């Protein structure tokens, strides 16, 4: 499926066994209801939600999907570095030129000012804790 930031509010639909030309995930807004109908000449379809079988639909049946009124509360055991984890899992490397020079590309932790050419992307200063550090907005 697609890579979606944990801060994004979205519903993601991904076919378990895609075939033919429709093999892409579909991302919708949480307030956008989606209805799926099983074609009359089709076979049965399993309904899997978060990896768990929840039912079977027969030809002609339909199912509506929409976001719950409340967000899921999940346990997080430590700080999460979404983009760092993404970089590791997808094996994203530094630019080939930097690797050839033997100099790793600079990493700019959120708590340090960005380089001059990226200053327009600077996050606002977190005034609440008195540190003046730049932190991601909640």
Note the pLDDT tens digit of each residue in 74-101: 777 777 788 778 877 877 766 565 566 6
pLDDT of residue 27: 93
Sign of CA dihedral 92, 95, 99, 100: positive
Contacts of 82 (CB under 8 A, 6+ apart): 5, 6
Question: Which carries the bigger pLDDT value, residue 126 or residue 5?
Answer: 5
Quote the pTM value: 0.54
Residue 12 lies in a domain: no
Distance in angstroms (rounded) separating the CA atoms of residues 54 and 47 = 5
Task: Confirm whether 27 is domain-assigned.
Answer: no
Tell me the mean pLDDT in the region 2-7: 86
User: Does residue 101 sit within a domain?
Assistant: yes
Q: What is the pLDDT of residue 123?
A: 61
Name the residue range of residue 90's domain. 82-109
- What percent of the chain stands above pLDDT 90? 12
């Amino acid at each position: 499926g697609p890579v979606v930031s944990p801060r994004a509010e979205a519903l993601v639909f991904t076919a378990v066994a895609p075939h033919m030309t429709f093999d892409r995930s579909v991302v919708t807004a949480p307030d956008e209801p989606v209805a799926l109908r099983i074609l009359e000449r089709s076979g049965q379809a399993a309904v899997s939600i978060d990896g768990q079988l929840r039912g079977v639909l027969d030809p002609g049946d339909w199912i509506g999907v929409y976001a719950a009124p409340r967000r899921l509360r999940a346990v997080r055991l430590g700080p999460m570095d979404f983009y760092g984890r993404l970089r590791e899992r997808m094996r994203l490397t530094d630019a080939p030129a930097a690797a050839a020079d033997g100099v790793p590309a600079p990493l700019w932790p959120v708590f340090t000012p960005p380089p001059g050419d990226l200053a327009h992307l600077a996050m606002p200063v977190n005034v609440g804790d008195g540190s003046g550090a730049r932190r991601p907005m909640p």
